[in-house]
Homo-oligomer: A and B are copies of this chain.
Amino acid sequence: MPRAGLTADRLVAAAADLADEAGFENVTLSALARRFGVKDASLYAHVRNLQDLRTRLALFAGGELIDRIAAAVAGRAGKEALAAFAGAYREYALTRPGRYAATQIRIDQDLVARSPALHRTAEITYGMLRAYGLAEPDLTDAVRLLRSTFHGYCALEAAGGFGAARDVQASWDKAVDALHITLENWPREETHDDRPA
């Protein structure tokens, strides 16, 4: 009986493809095992359980996403950087819907803290915003606003939430313009609060 040559990494990669094809909620150990021509119990040698698989997938996808964003943002600043960030973000969310959905699951907090991808995400986002000259806590507020808008937009779009005739790409470009203006006209805090983000 030949071996399938499973490893945790190969499982995660296959799970990522499966997520994009069938939706993140259909990433299932049975389906994954089927894909490798193996019984589901066999997967437990490589992955603790379904939750573990999904967490690994989330971290994997988070890494992919920030790599693309980093590549897009590199060498740009200000509005150009913002547009590049936004474009890479939405592109990933739309072309890899399952992987993107994976990045949104709730993950154990100290596992998050130990993830290099998420640290990189924070660095790049805060870095991009430094051009706007915001100080804490405005900086953190702005980061939250950006993440929320990007995520909300992609989530609603993916869920078919935008029924109006208006072209979504044009709408998105406008939203990015609007965010740029928002960042330039940010309602600053009078009192200063320097706690780290």
> A residues near B, CB below 8 A?
25, 104-107, 109, 112-113, 136-138, 140-142, 144-145, 147-153, 155-156, 159-166, 170-171, 174-175, 177-179, 181-182, 185-187, 189, 193, 195-197
Chain B residues near A196 (CB-CB < 8 A): 164-165
Cα A185 to Cα B174 in complex, Å, equals 12
Cα A178 to Cα B138 in complex, Å, equals 11
Q: A174-B138, A175-B141 are in contact. Are A164 and B197 (CB under 8 A)?
A: yes
Copies of this protein chain in the complex: 2
Q: Determine whether the beta carbon of A147 is less than 8 Å from that of B161.
A: yes
20 contacts between A and B (CB under 8 A): A105-B159, A141-B171, A141-B174, A142-B178, A144-B171, A145-B153, A145-B174, A145-B175, A147-B161, A148-B156, A149-B149, A152-B153, A155-B155, A164-B196, A174-B189, A179-B182, A181-B182, A181-B187, A182-B182, A185-B185
Chain B residues near A148 (CB-CB < 8 A): 148-149, 152-153, 155-156, 175
